[in-house]
């Protein structure tokens, strides 16, 4: 009993000595912090002469006194603090005084928390020395082990495991060298062409000529922005077998990194729960260690239908997941697996497969009936709102005013599958919403999932998917890990982007829904620079990159890397990023050493986090902040598991992000409806690189809007987001120059992503010029000389050869290229034009206009929706262009018939340009005509009216054609025949 009361040094663990008066040695007379004299002397020798706990300077008189060991019988009262309550009061005082932006310093200016860190490090060193002595003593006492047994215990890794997990396959020089040569030649020809155009004006139609030259200059600028980022395209090859050999050795636990899946949904009536359920089921059945997978479903509409469908999905997953893994079926989304029109017996030799497949299909049909019954019931909401099975009201009856909700299905503490094997964790999340708060739509929902997953599972990697994008390749995560877990490649990789592939599109792909040129040409080119842009879904993130940290191999930015032309008076956001990078390692070490202290408590950890200014960045959650310091993931050991759900509810509260960096520097970035482009751009500006992964079997497949109206509405949203970024502080034209981490070709690609909607203005003008030329008899090009003919021929040939060589190295078909070209014109004269005006109205005048689409039912079976035309304002401009160009062609041929033989030559040039417009708008025209004459009458009426008004005004004003002075005309008249 007497020995247990002897105080021990809080640094080295040894007993405190006594001074010459026989009293226990106390260096600090203020708080009586127990520390021996030798440890105090070490502190003073290192320049720290203040108490580690309260910061009070040590008294010299106490240091000069003698020092002897305390016997087991001594127990002086002075060894204990005079008032035990003082220590608690002092601790509470420090906790409240330590603010986000300040640190407690001692008299010499050193932060107190640094003193604690140093003391913990000293203690750690002494423990290691003691442990090393014990090990050496044990080795001496242990019998000698033969050398043969030593070799058996340390087996070298296999050659396959030591090899790289991926390789870069550059495009063949025989394909790339001619491609680059033609690009340079085309650039030279374009320069000569503009020299000719500018030096040879058309005096008789000066206005038309000037308009055409301005449009052509913009088209050339757009071509440069689009072409040169494709200068260094590459392919990549992954080796999944090497990944398994390195991280999944037989007889050992899997060392593969954990992955948190994010699935986002809002309205179950527009995004059918059955589609979301198929995405979730494909995730739960992924070919990856079960304990490494967690699926988070964000229900931003707080719909009870979504929650109930997830309950049914979790139950069905107990049967579906073991079936998928037993027979290795692909894809693992039941709706798309059972709808395949292939021989499902191919490569399946198990006799029981046919019987089990039929039984599983029957189970799935019954599951669909239950889910569809829920959907039918949810069509009409009761007046009193929805109620749960226990009779309590559903918390999300008001989708704009409800508390945060979290429900954990399956997982470690949930149900197992029918074979008793553990299933991946499935978590339903609906963040809190209250009136008066800005919720930031999808970007805000994704950031809420980042915080929830960090508290509950904290996987080092995150994969986000739209609710209609299911896993088509069960090994897609392993494909991504071949980059992210490669020590040579993965350190500076912020995300791995997969291409988007789609189901339910007809073979002709009339409206370029597949976006093949973008995903198979442009993204390959960006992969050879700094990496592909983030496209919103099918992307595996490094969680640390989402937290706004710089890459590990990059030095901290010396100054702000933000806007170079408009320096802010306040502390730059990038300076705060550098501050976090600099402090993070010290805080991580501090908390790690803190866990080893016997009397460690939550107060110490919270105080450290607060003093390091992390709360201002990440919010008021010490559990979440500590999780951000764990680069390899995992829930902090210091956290009480029983409080995790409560903490998860706290981090999804609607006011959590206030006065933090969420949406500004960390997480998904706010400020645009296309938050994906903005988020990826910020990461690339910090020095991260991304990787494009194109496995032979597409990783993910989704549902594309295949009818014309929905497609235009989708393109409108993308273009509007680009205009918003253009008008924001994150515009690539001026943002991110300070650090020099964004490569110039990468910046050029980002500039192209935000200026392309403005091409709609010159495109509208250029598509109108042929009709004007045919109606007025004028032309934008003067009589061609031999040199001019060569330039025009060279320009057209260079355009054709560039396209052919691009198809050669990319593998894209000529039909895909032509469809992309057609829809570039269709979208440019409709959705992009509206996006420009809507963007300026929204950003400058605060007016938010929406172009709504009214849905109608389809009667046709397969691809029936392709022929539906829904009323939308976006249809009017292209319809008007088609009508006026057709009218112009008719008028031109009429004038040629009346004008005689000489008028046919100039007509061909005008008609060529008019047909260029009509051919590019042909899919639009075919969509309008469709089947069974389904074109909305209002579209035709508005288009005819606008075309007629335009023609009448043109005939009256005739602005672009040079006027003939009547006086000059009368003087030139000599005979009555004039």
Kindly give the residue spans of alpha helices, DSSP state H, lying in 873-903.
876-899
The reported pLDDT for the residue numbered 848 is 65
Catalytic residue among 260, 581, 676, 816: 676
- Peptide bond preceding 331 in cis form (omega within 30 of 0): yes
Catalytic residue among 106, 260, 299, 300: 300
Tokens of 918: 């009509």
Contact 757, 824 (CB under 8 A): no
How many residues would you count in the chain? 978
The reported pLDDT for the residue numbered 855 is 38
The reported pLDDT for the residue numbered 460 is 92
DSSP helix/strand/coil, 13? coil
Tokens 């950003």 belong to residue? 843
Cα–Cα dist 323/334, whole Å: 11
300 is catalytic: yes
Q: How many CB atoms lie within 10 A of CB 156?
A: 8
226 is catalytic: no
Give the residue ranges of the chain where pLDDT is below 50.
1-4, 62, 65-114, 116-117, 120-121, 123, 137-157, 558-579, 582, 594, 597-600, 851-864, 866-867, 931-933, 960-964, 968-969, 971-978
- Residue closest to 713 by CA, chosen among 518, 874, 921: 874
Contact 730, 669 (CB under 8 A): yes
Which CA distances in Å does 607 have to 451, 603, 629, 743? 21, 6, 16, 40
The reported pLDDT for the residue numbered 186 is 94
The reported pLDDT for the residue numbered 154 is 33
Tokens of 759: 């091409």
The pTM score is 0.75
Provide DSSP, 301-369: T--HHHHHHHHHHHHHHHHHHHHHHHHT-S---HHHHHT--S-TTTT---TTHHHHHHHHHHHHHHHHH
The reported pLDDT for the residue numbered 334 is 92
Tokens 């691809």 belong to residue? 863
Q: What is the DSSP letter of 574?
A: H
The reported pLDDT for the residue numbered 927 is 67
Q: Residue 334 CA to chain centroid, in angstroms?
A: 27
Provide DSSP, 477-516: HHHHHHHHT-TTTGGGEEEEEPPPEEES--TT-TT-TT-H
Q: Strand 700-703's sheet: what is its strand order?
A: 470-471, 700-703, 501-503
The reported pLDDT for the residue numbered 786 is 81
Tokens of 145: 């082990």
The reported pLDDT for the residue numbered 149 is 37
Q: How many CB atoms lie within 10 A of CB 833?
A: 23
Q: What is the percent of the chain where pLDDT is above 70?
A: 69
Q: Which residues does 396 contact at the CB level (< 8 Å), separation at least 6?
A: 299, 301, 302, 303, 304, 402, 405, 430
Cα–Cα dist 515/816, whole Å: 8
């Amino acid at each position: 009993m007497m020995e247990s009361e002897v105080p021990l040094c809080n640094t080295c663990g040894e007993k405190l000595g006594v001074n010459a008066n026989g009293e226990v040695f106390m260096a600090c007379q203020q708080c009586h912090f127990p520390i021996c004299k030798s440890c105090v002397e070490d502190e003073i020798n290192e320049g720290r002469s203040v108490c580690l706990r309260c910061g009070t300077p040590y008294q010299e008189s106490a240091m000069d006194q003698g020092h002897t060991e305390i016997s087991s019988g001594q127990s002086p009262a002075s060894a204990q603090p005079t008032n035990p309550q003082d220590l608690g009061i002092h601790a509470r005082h420090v906790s409240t005084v330590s603010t986000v932006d300040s640190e407690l310093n001692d008299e010499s200016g050193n932060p107190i928390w640094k003193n604690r860190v140093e003391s913990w490090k000293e203690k750690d060193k002494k423990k290691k020395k003691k442990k090393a002595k014990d090990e050496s003593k044990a080795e001496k006492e242990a019998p000698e082990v033969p050398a043969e047994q030593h070799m058996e215990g340390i087996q070298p890794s296999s050659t396959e495991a030591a090899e790289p997990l991926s390789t870069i396959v550059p495009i063949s020089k025989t394909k790339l060298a001619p491609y680059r040569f033609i690009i340079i030649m085309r650039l030279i020809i374009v320069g000569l062409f503009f020299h000719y155009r500018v030096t040879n004006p058309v005096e008789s139609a000066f206005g038309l000529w000037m308009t055409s030259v301005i449009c052509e200059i913009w088209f050339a600028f757009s071509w440069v922005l689009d072409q040169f980022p494709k200068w260094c395209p590459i392919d990549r090859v992954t080796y999944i077998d090497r990944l398994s050999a390195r991280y999944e050795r037989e007889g050992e636990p899997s060392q593969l990194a954990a992955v948190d899946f994010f699935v986002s949904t809002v309205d179950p009536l527009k995004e059918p729960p059955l589609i979301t359920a198929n995405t979730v089921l494909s995730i739960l059945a992924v070919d990856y260690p079960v304990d490494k997978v967690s699926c988070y479903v964000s229900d931003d509409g707080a719909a009870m239908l979504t929650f109930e469908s997830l309950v049914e999905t979790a139950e069905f997953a107990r049967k579906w997941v073991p079936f998928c893994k037993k027979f290795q079926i692909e894809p693992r989304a039941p709706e798309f697996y059972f709808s395949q029109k292939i021989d499902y017996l191919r490569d399946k030799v198990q006799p029981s497969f046919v019987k089990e497949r039929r039984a599983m299909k029957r189970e799935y049909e019954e599951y669909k009936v239950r889910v569809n019954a829920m959907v039918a019931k949810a069509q009409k909401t009761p007046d009193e709102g929805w109620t749960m099975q226990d009779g309590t009201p559903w918390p999300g009856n008001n989708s704009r005013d409800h508390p945060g909700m979290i429900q954990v299905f399956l997982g470690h503490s949930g149900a197992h599958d029918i074979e008793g094997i553990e299933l991946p964790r499935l978590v339903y999340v609906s963040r809190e919403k209250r009136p008066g708060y800005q919720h930031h739509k999808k970007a805000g929902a994704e950031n809420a999932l980042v915080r929830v997953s960090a508290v509950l599972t904290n996987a080092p990697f995150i994969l986000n998917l739209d609710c209609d994008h299911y896993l088509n390749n069960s090994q897609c995560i392993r494909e991504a890990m071949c980059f992210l877990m490669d020590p040579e490649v993965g350190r500076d990789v912020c995300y791995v982007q997969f291409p988007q592939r789609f189901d339910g599109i007809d073979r002709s792909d009339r409206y370029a829904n597949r976006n093949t040129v973008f995903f198979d040409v442009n993204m390959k080119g960006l992969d050879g620079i700094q990496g592909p842009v983030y496209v919103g879904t099918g992307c595996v993130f490094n969680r640390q990159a989402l937290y706004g940290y710089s890459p590990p191999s990059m030095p901290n930015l010396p100054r702000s890397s933000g806007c170079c032309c408009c320096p802010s008076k306040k502390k730059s956001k990038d300076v705060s990023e550098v501050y976090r990078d600099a402090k993070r390692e010290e805080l991580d070490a501090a908390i790690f050493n803190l866990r080893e202290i016997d009397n460690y408590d939550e107060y110490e950890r919270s105080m450290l986090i607060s003093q390091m200014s992390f709360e201002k960045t990440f919010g008021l959650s010490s559990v979440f902040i500590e999780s951000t310091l764990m680069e390899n993931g995992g829930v902090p050991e210091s956290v009480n598991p029983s409080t995790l759900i409560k903490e998860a509810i706290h981090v999804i509260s609607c006011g959590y992000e206030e006065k933090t960096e969420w949406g500004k520097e960390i997480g998904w970035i706010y400020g645009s409806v296309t938050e994906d482009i903005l988020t990826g751009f910020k990461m690339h500006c910090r020095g991260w690189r991304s990787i494009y992964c194109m496995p032979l079997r597409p990783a993910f497949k989704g549902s594309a809007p295949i009818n014309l109206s929905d497609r235009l509405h989708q393109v409108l949203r993308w273009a509007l987001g680009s205009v918003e970024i253009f008008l924001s502080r994150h515009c690539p034209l001026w943002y991110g120059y300070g650090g020099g981490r964004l490569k110039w070709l990468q910046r050029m690609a980002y500039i192209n992503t935000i200026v392309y909607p403005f091409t709609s203005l010159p495109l509208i003008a250029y598509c109108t010029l042929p009709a004007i030329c045919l109606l007025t008899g004028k032309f934008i090009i003067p009589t061609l000389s031999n040199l001019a003919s060569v330039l025009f021929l060279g320009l057209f040939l260079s355009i054709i050869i560039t396209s052919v060589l691009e198809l050669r190295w990319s593998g894209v078909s000529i039909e895909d290229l032509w469809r992309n070209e057609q829809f570039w014109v269709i979208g440019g004269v409709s959705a992009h034009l509206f996006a420009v005006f809507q963007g300026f109205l929204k950003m400058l005048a605060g007016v938010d206009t929406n172009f709504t689409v009214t849905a109608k039912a389809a009667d046709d079976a397969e691809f029936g929706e392709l022929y539906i035309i829904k009323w939308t304002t976006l249809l009017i401009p292209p319809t008007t262009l088609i009508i006026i160009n057709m009218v112009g062609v008719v008028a031109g041929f009429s004038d040629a018939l009346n004008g005689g033989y000489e008028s046919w030559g100039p007509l061909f040039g005008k008609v060529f340009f008019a047909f260029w417009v009509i051919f590019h708008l042909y899919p639009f025209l075919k969509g309008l005509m469709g089947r069974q004459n389904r074109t909305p009458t209002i579209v035709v009426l508005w288009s005819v009216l606008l075309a007629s008004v335009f023609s009448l005004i043109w005939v009256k004003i005739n602005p672009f054609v040079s006027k003939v002075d009547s006086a000059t005309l009368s003087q030139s008249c000599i005979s009555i025949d004039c």
